[in-house]
């Protein structure tokens, strides 16, 4: 190795132009920097934008300093009122509501899949080759996702009246966008080779979907189903706040009557169910793949 190549390869040498100017090896010292000046300016502007946005946001939410200072004391007070949890309240009131919550999540997920599968087929550009239909299906999926499940619940409470039916539909309509988008992506990622092979063998559309596409999207399908059910268990726990059934109703009642020990019981029950759902879903998913 010669001295010349060592100089050229050492970035610290290139980073010190003043010393390099006197260096006879100067022509060999190539400069390298991570960003161009334009990129550096752009990065600096992005950071400036972030800081400005945070500053603006903090000013606009109007924090009252007294309340902020008071918060730890208030939290402590709340926790003291919650302790010990009123575990006697669990059965039957909380238990029944909890089971209803699980039913809402499960039925909502199944209904969502029934509605999302056709939309996903229309949205996947390799399955449906009609541009406007792809576009329409994407619009349906985005619309479904743009409305929060609590808002869907409010709408369906107005339609079906208060109760679990409204919850099931709220969960389903919220899930269509999520499930449909992921399913459409899985469909678009399916390898075209087997599809081509089956078409070449004279298989019709249905047989091609069944034997070439479905085996490819099957793992994604069950993965999405479990993941969405997991999310829906958590989402259906709050639907009761607007009267759409489930454990949220019990929670809302307890808060309205300042029965904080009961609130604690409900929160613990939700935590337990979510944990169990999480473990269950992870176990099944590990086996699926």
Partner 1 sequence: MAAPPGAGGRPPLEIRGLVKEYVPGTPVLRGIDLEIGAEGITAVIGPSGTGKSTLLRCINRLVEPTRGEIRLRGEELTRLSGKALRLARRRIGMVFQEYNLVERLSVMENLLCGRLGYVPLWRAWLRRYPAEDIARAFALLDAVGLPDYATRRADALSGGQRQRVGIARALMQRPELLLADEPTSSLDPKTAVEVLELLARLTGEAGVPVVLNIHNVELARRFARRIVGMSQGAIVFDGPPEALETAHLRAIYGGEDWL
CB 219 within 8 A of CB 288: yes
d(CA 175, CA 157): 17
CB 271 within 8 A of CB 122: no
**How many residues at the interface with partner 1, by CB under 8 A?**
22
Question: Would you state the torsion angle of the CA atoms of residues 144, 148, 150, 156, taken in this order, to the nearest 10 degrees?
Answer: -20
Cis peptide before 92 (omega within 30 of 0): yes
Binding mask 173-202 for partner 1 (x = CB under 8 A): ------------------x-xx-xxxxxxx
Q: Does 204 bind partner 1 (CB under 8 A)?
A: yes
Q: Does 215 bind partner 1 (CB under 8 A)?
A: yes
Shortest Cβ 190–partner 1 spacing (Å): 10
Shortest Cβ 217–partner 1 spacing (Å): 10
CB 260 within 8 A of CB 268: no
Nearest residue to 268 (alpha-carbon basis) of 93, 94, 81? 94
Tokens 């070439």 found at: 212
Shortest Cβ 219–partner 1 spacing (Å): 8
Interface region with partner 1, contact rule CB under 8 A, candidates 20-28, 57-65, 103-111, 215-223: 215-223
Q: Does 212 bind partner 1 (CB under 8 A)?
A: yes
Q: Which of residues 216-275 bind partner 1 (CB under 8 A)?
A: 216, 218-219
Shortest Cβ 184–partner 1 spacing (Å): 20
Alpha helix segments (H runs only) across 124-163 = 131-146, 149-160
d(CA 107, CA 289): 25
Binding mask 90-109 for partner 1 (x = CB under 8 A): --------------------
Give me the residues that bind partner 1 (CB under 8 A), please: 191, 193-194, 196-204, 206-208, 210-212, 215-216, 218-219
């Amino acid at each position: 190795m010669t001295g010349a190549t060592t100089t050229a390869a050492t970035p610290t040498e290139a980073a010190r132009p003043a010393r390099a100017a006197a260096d006879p090896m100067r022509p060999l010292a190539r400069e390298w920097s991570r960003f161009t000046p334009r990129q550096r300016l752009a990065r600096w502007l992005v950071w400036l934008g972030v800081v400005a946005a945070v500053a603006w946001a903090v000013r606009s939410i109007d924090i009252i300093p007294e309340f902020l200072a008071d918060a730890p004391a208030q939290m402590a007070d709340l926790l003291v009122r919650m302790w010990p949890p009123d575990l006697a309240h669990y059965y039957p009131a909380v238990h029944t509501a909890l089971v209803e919550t699980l039913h809402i999540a499960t039925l909502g997920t199944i209904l969502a899949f029934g509605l999302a599968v056709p939309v996903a087929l229309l949205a996947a550009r390799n399955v449906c080759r009609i541009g406007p239909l792809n576009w329409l299906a994407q619009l349906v999926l985005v619309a479904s996702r743009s409305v929060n499940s609590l808002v869907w619940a409010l709408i369906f409470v107005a339609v079906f009246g208060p109760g679990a039916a409204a919850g099931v539909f709220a969960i389903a309509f919220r899930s269509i966008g999520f499930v449909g988008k992921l399913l459409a992506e899985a469909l678009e990622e399916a390898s075209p080779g087997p599809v081509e092979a089956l078409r070449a063998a004279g298989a019709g559309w249905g047989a091609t979907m069944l034997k070439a596409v479905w085996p490819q999207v099957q793992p994604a399908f069950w993965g999405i189903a479990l993941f969405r059910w997991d999310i829906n268990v958590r989402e259906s726990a709050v639907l009761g706040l607007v009267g759409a059934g489930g454990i949220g109703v019990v929670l809302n009642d307890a808060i309205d009557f300042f029965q904080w020990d009961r609130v604690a019981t409900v929160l613990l029950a939700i935590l337990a169910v979510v944990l169990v759902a999480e473990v269950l879903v992870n176990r099944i998913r590990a086996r699926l793949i």
